[in-house]
Each structure stands twice: as C-alpha cells, then as structure tokens.
C-alpha cells in the first residue's frame, strides 16, 4: 500500500491539473461576429427578433438583476421588452451600432456586449443562438456603415462635379427621371419611406444634378426613418446644388439638428 501512495498522489495531482485545464479551456472564449455573404439587413432583423423571442437572452438592469427579454424592431428602432409584461427596457436606434465593437465572450455563460450600450447574457455557453444574435447585429451595423461610405463618396463626387458651375449647366429632367420622381413622391405620401428612398435614388442616378430637390426629399425621408447620418449627407448635397435656395437656411439648421443627435450618441 505504501509503495502505491506516491503513484496515487501523482495521479491525484494530474487529475487536479487536468480539471484546471478543462476549466480554462471552457472559459474566456471570444467570438467575433461575421456577416454571411448575401445576407441582408432585413434577414438580420428577422433573425434577431426570432432569437430574442424566447428568453434565452436577458438585459442587465441598473440594479444588477437579469431580466428575460424579447425583441421588436420598428422604423430602425430596436426595442428590448420584458418577457413578463412587455415593458420596454431599452430602445436602441440602429445607427447607434455604428463604429462600436460587438463582442461575444463566455465564462459561466455567454455575454454579448455592444460597446457600452447593451449587455446580453445567454443561458448556454457559446451557443448557436448567441452567435446568431451577434452576427445579426453585425450585419445591421455593417449595412449602415457601408451605406454611410457610399453617401460620403457620392457627396465627394458631386463636390468635384459641381465646382460652382452646375446651376448654369443643369439639364432638364428626362421623362424617365420624372416618372421615378412622381412615383417616389406618391410613395412618400403613403409613408412607404424605404420604397420612396429607392425610387429617389434611382431617379438621381440618371442625372445627379437635374433635380436637386430629390436630395432634400431624401434627407427628410432618412430623418423620418431614424438615419440622421444619411439625412445630413443628403442635405449637404442639396445645399451644394442649391446654395441660394429660399429654404437654404432651414436646410442648414436641420443639418445642425441631426449633427447634434449624432454628437449626443458619441458622448454616451
């Protein structure tokens, strides 16, 4: 028996070390979200609602308690509601995801953090639901950041094209462009803002300078659907083409208002 004592002692030590290694391997995991090719922002929104519909994720309250939540998305506003009574715990405009890190980590449970905005905890460690939520938020974030980059590029191109001579050289609208604008106006009146935006963009793609009011209308639409970053960039294009417009003062004031919204988000 005495001869076996050292063997059992070594075996016990190995078990302890093995258990410790297993524990270390099961904690501290980090998952970086990915955007699958071809997945749209609408796909991501639907998936996000589905994955946050059954209490697998919870929002941490100010008092430190975890409360089961479900998700709804309307007009680019992501709302997390209590599972029991439907009370809104937080409303998060999708543009607030821009330029923030989305990281999923795990120890005893998976925790998803969006910068300093939101912290969600999942019941399983690195489960598929938590990864899908991280991926969905990442898709929404990337879509908005890509859209901003497109608009910034378009503004730069128009600045180069304008160069103070656009008004004198402006061509009248083509019949195809007029058709698209009339349709876009009708969709706006019906409050079908996303469709109206697509029609206006198609019209402006035919001629960037023939209908400056299209940029003004796009700015108002983007503000209506809670995308102030896009509203600013469209209004700047309008003022670039119509610097002496009667509503130039109010247009610039709207830019100031939307910039304040973004600055407040940056400070939070």
Q: What is the pLDDT of residues 19-49, one digit of tens each?
A: 333 333 344 688 989 888 889 999 999 999 9
On whether both 79 and 169 belong to a single domain, the answer is: no
On whether both 135 and 217 belong to a single domain, the answer is: no
Report the number of distinct structural domains present in the chain.
2
Residue 77 falls within a domain, yes or no?
yes
Q: How far apart are CA 248 and CA 216, in angstroms?
A: 10
- Give the confidence band of 267 by pLDDT, cuts at 50, 70, 90: low
Residue 83 falls within a domain, yes or no?
yes
What is the pTM (predicted TM-score) of this model? 0.82
On whether both 169 and 124 belong to a single domain, the answer is: no
On whether both 113 and 168 belong to a single domain, the answer is: no
Helices 228-241 and 248-267: angle between axes, nearest 10 degrees: 150
Mean pLDDT of 109-119: 85
Closest CA to 112 of 39, 59, 65: 59
Residue 21 falls within a domain, yes or no?
no
The β-bridge partners of 59 are 67, 120
Closest CA to 31 of 105, 99, 97, 100: 105
CA atoms within 13 A on the CB side of 5: 3
CB 53 within 8 A of CB 38: no
On whether both 186 and 135 belong to a single domain, the answer is: no
Residue 8 falls within a domain, yes or no?
no
> What Rg do the C-alpha atoms of the chain give, in angstroms?
26
The token pair at 266 is 């940056």
On whether both 170 and 120 belong to a single domain, the answer is: no
- CATH code at position 109: 2.30.29
- Give the CA diameter of the chain: 104
- Does the pLDDT at position 237 exceed 90? yes
- CATH code at position 213: 1.25.40.10
CB 208 within 8 A of CB 158: yes
CB 161 within 8 A of CB 209: yes
On whether both 175 and 118 belong to a single domain, the answer is: no
- Out of 108, 141, 174, a domain closes at 141
On whether both 189 and 250 belong to a single domain, the answer is: yes
On whether both 136 and 221 belong to a single domain, the answer is: no
On whether both 129 and 186 belong to a single domain, the answer is: no
Q: How far apart are CA 111 and CA 130, in angstroms?
A: 8
CB 69 within 8 A of CB 57: yes
**Per-residue pLDDT tens digits for 171-183:** 788 999 999 999 9
Structural domain span for residue 107: 29-141
Q: Is 52 helix (H, G, I), strand (E, B) or coil?
A: coil
Mean pLDDT of 70-86: 88
On whether both 174 and 77 belong to a single domain, the answer is: no
- Out of 87, 111, 141, a domain closes at 141
């Amino acid at each position: 028996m005495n001869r076996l004592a050292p063997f059992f002692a070594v075996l016990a030590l190995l078990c302890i070390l093995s258990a410790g290694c297993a524990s270390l391997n099961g904690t501290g995991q980090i998952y970086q979200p990915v955007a699958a090719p071809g997945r749209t922002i609408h796909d991501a929104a639907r998936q996000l609602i589905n994955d946050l519909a059954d209490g697998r994720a919870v929002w941490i309250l100010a008092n430190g308690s975890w409360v089961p939540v479900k998700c709804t998305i309307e007009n680019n506003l992501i709302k997390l509601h209590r599972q029991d009574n439907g009370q809104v715990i937080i409303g998060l405009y999708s543009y607030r995801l821009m330029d923030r890190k989305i990281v999923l980590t795990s120890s005893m449970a998976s925790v998803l953090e969006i910068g300093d905005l939101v912290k969600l905890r999942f019941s399983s460690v690195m489960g598929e639901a938590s990864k899908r939520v991280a991926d969905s938020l990442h898709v929404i974030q990337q879509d908005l950041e890509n859209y901003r980059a497109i608009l910034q590029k378009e503004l730069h191109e128009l600045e180069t094209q304008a160069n103070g001579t656009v008004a004198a050289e402006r061509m009248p609208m083509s019949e195809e462009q007029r058709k698209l604008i009339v349709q876009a106006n009708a969709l706006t009146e019906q409050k079908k803002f996303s469709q109206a935006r697509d029609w206006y963009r198609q019209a402006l793609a035919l001629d960037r300078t023939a209908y400056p009011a299209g940029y003004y209308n796009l700015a108002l639409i983007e503000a209506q659907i809670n995308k102030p970053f896009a509203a600013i960039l469209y209004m700047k294009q309008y003022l670039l083409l119509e610097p002496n417009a009667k509503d130039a003062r109010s247009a610039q004031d709207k830019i100031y208002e939307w910039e304040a919204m973004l600055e407040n988000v940056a400070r939070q």
